[in-house]
Amino acid sequence: MILKNTSIFKFLFMSMNVAILFTGCHKNQPVSGPVTNQFVIRDFIPLSNWHIDSTGTLNNNPSINKSISLDYTNAFTNGFVIPTINQVAEGQFAFEFSLKNTGSSPQKFCYKIYYQNESYKFPETDEKDRTRQNVNAWENFYGSWEDTGKTFAETPVIPADDEFHKILDHFGIVGNPRNEKRYFSEKGNDRWKRNLRVGKYSFLLVITTQENFQQKNIPENVVNINLTDKNRFVNPYFYFLYGEGKNLKNTVIQKFPYYLKVVAKPDPGAGIYINPIFFNTATSGKYFCKTCGQDSLLFRNAPFEQFIHYIDPNTKMNNIPVIADVLHDHYSKMDYNWNSHFYSKEELIAITATTTKWPCETVAVDKGDKTISIKNPKTEYGKWEKQDVGVISRHGFTYGKWTIKAKLTELLNKDNMWNGITNAIWLITQSPAGWNFRRDCNNTGYMANYYGGQRDKRVKNIGYSEIDFEILKTVPYCPSYFLPPPYNYGTDDQKNMKSWNVPLPEEVTENDDKVQVACTNWDMACREPENFNAGCNAISYRGQTFWAHRWDNNYRAITEKTPERDDELFGSEYYYFQIDWEPREIIWRIGPSKDKLRIVGYVNYAVSSIPDNQMLLIVSQEFHNTKWWIGSPYSQDNIPFPKEDLTGKIYEITIE
């Protein structure tokens, strides 16, 4: 389509959960580009119908930043789309450029637009040879037209009249942009299985002559990004900017100098869906309401579900038959020590942690202040329970800075006695199915199962992944299997291992008012990282040293701990927790405000396999069995059942 005048598209801004920030180039400002002996281009603007102010007027002032809300409506089943018809009338972005035919006769030209996520990508080129594609660059999130069968578009006939002619077209950013069969089901293309990524997007315009296109001078797997070369995709950004494509005759390659930034913000006030697979739907609706339940509206649009923990029957606790409000009844260390010795074995309550029988009883939405509350319910005599509680997001992402603003329950009382709760903010695989498998582990493979034990088989790829904040009262150092009873449990192989000789701190009491912020990456013991190791090993990052602990070479996770004051993390109105998950590293941060975050954990691809599959967010309060945390000063068995509800509140979640 050739336009002599600018088309102005009006759209209605909608209050949403994903913000998009774009800095543009002034519409009339020429964009410099190569000149061929056939044509010249200028004024390439990727989102020409997006910069519209409140009056409905197109505004291309580069100093004005606009935001748009990514639409969660029906995204659970369809995946995210940027933009939707609720945001832009056409449901697509418009892009434009101006072209002058400098040849001797009228002719048509061929063009294609590509986009790529720049925040969470591998470099396009090999680190040692910039003429070769990086081995992981095909994993980057890039796309073009939604229909990959649409290769290069064709302009109308452009006269050789020494004038610029405006070309206008449309595109959108969608999940599974290469239309890979891996993400298809019997119902069709499940784009949500490879959701678009958050962060910055760039735009690349390629214009060439009909001759180049007809003679197939551009490889088919670049023209059609759905095709592979030796079972690997060719990244068009590599091909055109660094590979053979940069030298194509009569071809202009224009990368727009500004970016589109995508930020996801699921609304805690939008509802909690109850997944029927966890409950008997005929009897579980006692606490259902408009904001928590199983109706079709919540199914389509609620960004969270109630999380139901898997309870390992092998983690049974022998609990003292005591109910107390540890946080407020001045339950002291003396009380703890007395009760831990007072009761006979026959009087102890043999339990595992439990989860709710009544959905929506322990989670609730406040639509007014747009928050979610979670609570570990109080215990009644004869109904002995320590009940875990949490919520889980419903839309998966790969990578991103996940920032959670929350007020979770306090863990210590004034005597620094622990109430037994572990506050957890964690990412977990969206699915262990093949479509969500991690990158292959070619050095001995992953441990096949989360609960597989020491002698579990190893496999090339799996779908399990997990990145954790777990905050509880435990030791600040790397523990050993060789601690005194009752903390020296483990397999015979573990007990016979050579001690790692990790020194205990001289003054354990210096951390009495602190809890441990444990930061863990479940790499499933893939030994491919060059510095993979067991024991306690130092990792330095930006002037800080973190001690990464792995029990043995078959242990599935690596953990670091940082002592922090319980009063600061959970005694204030709220606190911020951030998991910064990138292709080559994971950074854990906490702080009193989003602009005052400090690093409390760090791992990179040299020491631990970084997950690259799609994950969900969980916020939970749990009664961990302290046998998982060897050396903990308090045993869960000897901590009372809660006399009062232990409540947490989730204010805000941002993924950017």
Three-class SS of 367-416: CCCCEEEEEECCCECCECCCECEEEEECCCECCEEEEEEEECCCCECCCC
User: Is 224 found in the same domain as 203?
Assistant: yes
Listed in sequence order, the DSSP H helices in 191-291 are 210-214, 220-223, 236-241
Q: Amino acid identity of 137?
A: A
| Structure-token pair, residue 29 | 């400002």
Read off the pLDDT band of 335 (50, 70, 90). Answer: very high
User: Is 365 found in the same domain as 236?
Assistant: no
- Start-to-end C-alpha separation, the chain: 35
Is 75 contained in some domain? yes
507 C-beta neighbours (distance < 10 Å), count: 8
- pLDDT tops 60 at residue 31: no
Is 247 contained in some domain? yes
- pLDDT tops 90 at residue 23: no
| Structure-token pair, residue 584 | 């080559």
Is 590 contained in some domain? yes
The predicted pLDDT at position 60 comes to 52
The four Cα atoms 41, 45, 48, 51 give a dihedral, to 10 degrees, of: -150
| Structure-token pair, residue 410 | 């306090």
366, HSE (Cβ side, Cα atoms, 13 Å):
12
Read off the pLDDT band of 54 (50, 70, 90). Answer: very low
Mean pLDDT for 557-569 is: 97
Kindly report, residue by residue over 198-215, the tens digit of the pLDDT.
Answer: 999 999 999 999 999 899
Helix, strand, coil percent content, the chain, rounded in steps of 5: 10, 35, 55
User: Is 296 found in the same domain as 185?
Assistant: no
Span of 64-78, 115-129, 551-565 with lowest mean pLDDT? 64-78
Mean pLDDT for 531-537 is: 95
Mean pLDDT for 521-537 is: 97
Is 408 contained in some domain? yes
User: Among 217, 234, 264, where does a domain finish?
Assistant: 264
* Residues 17, 264: Cα–Cα separation, whole Å: 6
Span of 10-14, 112-116, 243-247, 423-427 with lowest mean pLDDT? 10-14
Q: Amino acid identity of 199?
A: G
User: Is 279 found in the same domain as 251?
Assistant: no
Percent of the chain with pLDDT over 70: 87
Mean pLDDT for 407-432 is: 98
User: Is 273 found in the same domain as 248?
Assistant: no
- pLDDT tops 90 at residue 26: no
Helix (H) or strand (E) holding 553: none
Handedness of CA 387, 388, 393, 394 (dihedral sign): negative
The predicted pLDDT at position 67 comes to 57
Handedness of CA 277, 282, 288, 294 (dihedral sign): positive
Asked whether the beta carbons of 24 and 62 are under 8 A apart, the reply is: yes
**Which range marks the domain in which residue 36 is found?**
2-264
Query: Is 60 strand, coil or helix?
Result: coil
DSSP conformation letters of 312-334: -TT--EEE-S-EE-TTTTT--HH
> CA separation (Å) from 99 to 3, 90, 254, 511?
11, 24, 13, 68
Number of H helices and number of E strands within the chain?
8, 40
Q: Which one, of 218, 215, 213, lies nearest residue 234 by Cα?
A: 218
Is 509 contained in some domain? no
CATH number of the domain where residue 395 is located: 2.60.120.200
- pLDDT tops 80 at residue 469: yes
* Residues 72, 16: Cα–Cα separation, whole Å: 7
User: Among 220, 245, 264, where does a domain finish?
Assistant: 264
User: Is 464 found in the same domain as 365?
Assistant: yes
Q: Which one, of 532, 569, 538, lies nearest residue 552 by Cα?
A: 532
- pLDDT tops 70 at residue 9: no
Matching residue, tokens 């990464």: 548
Contacts of 280 (CB under 8 A, 6+ apart): none
Matching residue, tokens 């989360």: 450
* Residues 640, 419: Cα–Cα separation, whole Å: 8
Kindly report, residue by residue over 601-656, the tens digit of the pLDDT.
Answer: 999 999 999 999 999 999 999 999 998 898 899 999 999 999 999 999 999 999 99
Is 154 contained in some domain? yes
Asked whether the beta carbons of 158 and 44 are under 8 A apart, the reply is: no
Q: Amino acid identity of 329?
A: D
Asked whether the beta carbons of 48 and 94 are under 8 A apart, the reply is: yes
Percent of the chain with pLDDT over 90: 79
- pLDDT tops 80 at residue 506: no
Asked whether the beta carbons of 191 and 79 are under 8 A apart, the reply is: yes
- pLDDT tops 80 at residue 258: yes
- pLDDT tops 90 at residue 358: yes
Asked whether the beta carbons of 299 and 76 are under 8 A apart, the reply is: yes
| Structure-token pair, residue 356 | 């709710």
* Residues 415, 330: Cα–Cα separation, whole Å: 7
Is 133 contained in some domain? yes
User: Is 276 found in the same domain as 252?
Assistant: no
* Residues 25, 88: Cα–Cα separation, whole Å: 20
User: Is 312 found in the same domain as 246?
Assistant: no
Q: Which one, of 103, 105, 110, 108, lies nearest residue 212 by Cα?
A: 110
In the chain, how many domains are there?
2
Read off the pLDDT band of 568 (50, 70, 90). Answer: very high
User: Is 274 found in the same domain as 246?
Assistant: no
Phi and psi angles of residue 340, each rounded to the nearest 5 degrees, phi first: -70, -20
User: Is 625 found in the same domain as 644?
Assistant: yes
The predicted pLDDT at position 559 comes to 98
Read off the pLDDT band of 388 (50, 70, 90). Answer: very high
Q: Which one, of 178, 176, 181, 182, lies nearest residue 194 by Cα?
A: 176
Helix (H) or strand (E) holding 569: helix 566-570
User: Is 336 found in the same domain as 204?
Assistant: no
Q: Amino acid identity of 326?
A: V
The predicted pLDDT at position 70 comes to 78
Listed in sequence order, the DSSP H helices in 12-81 are 75-78
DSSP state of 275: -
User: Among 232, 264, 296, where does a domain finish?
Assistant: 264
Mean pLDDT for 9-37 is: 41
* Residues 95, 103: Cα–Cα separation, whole Å: 25
Q: Which one, of 159, 357, 317, lies nearest residue 641 by Cα?
A: 317
User: Is 297 found in the same domain as 251?
Assistant: no
The predicted pLDDT at position 136 comes to 96
| Mean pLDDT of all residues belonging to the chain | 88
The predicted pLDDT at position 35 comes to 54
* Residues 73, 195: Cα–Cα separation, whole Å: 14
> CA separation (Å) from 307 to 174, 201, 277, 336, 557?
28, 33, 12, 31, 22
* Residues 452, 443: Cα–Cα separation, whole Å: 19
Kindly report, residue by residue over 261-312, the tens digit of the pLDDT.
Answer: 899 999 999 999 999 999 876 668 899 999 999 999 999 999 999 999 988 8
* Residues 441, 464: Cα–Cα separation, whole Å: 13
Handedness of CA 563, 567, 568, 573 (dihedral sign): positive
Query: How big is the chain by its Cα radius of gyration, in Å?
Result: 28
* Residues 442, 528: Cα–Cα separation, whole Å: 7
| Structure-token pair, residue 374 | 């979670």
Phi and psi angles of residue 537, each rounded to the nearest 5 degrees, phi first: -130, 140
Mean pLDDT for 46-54 is: 69
Is 82 contained in some domain? yes
Query: Is 181 strand, coil or helix?
Result: helix
Contacts of 293 (CB under 8 A, 6+ apart): 273, 274, 285, 359, 360
* Residues 262, 81: Cα–Cα separation, whole Å: 11
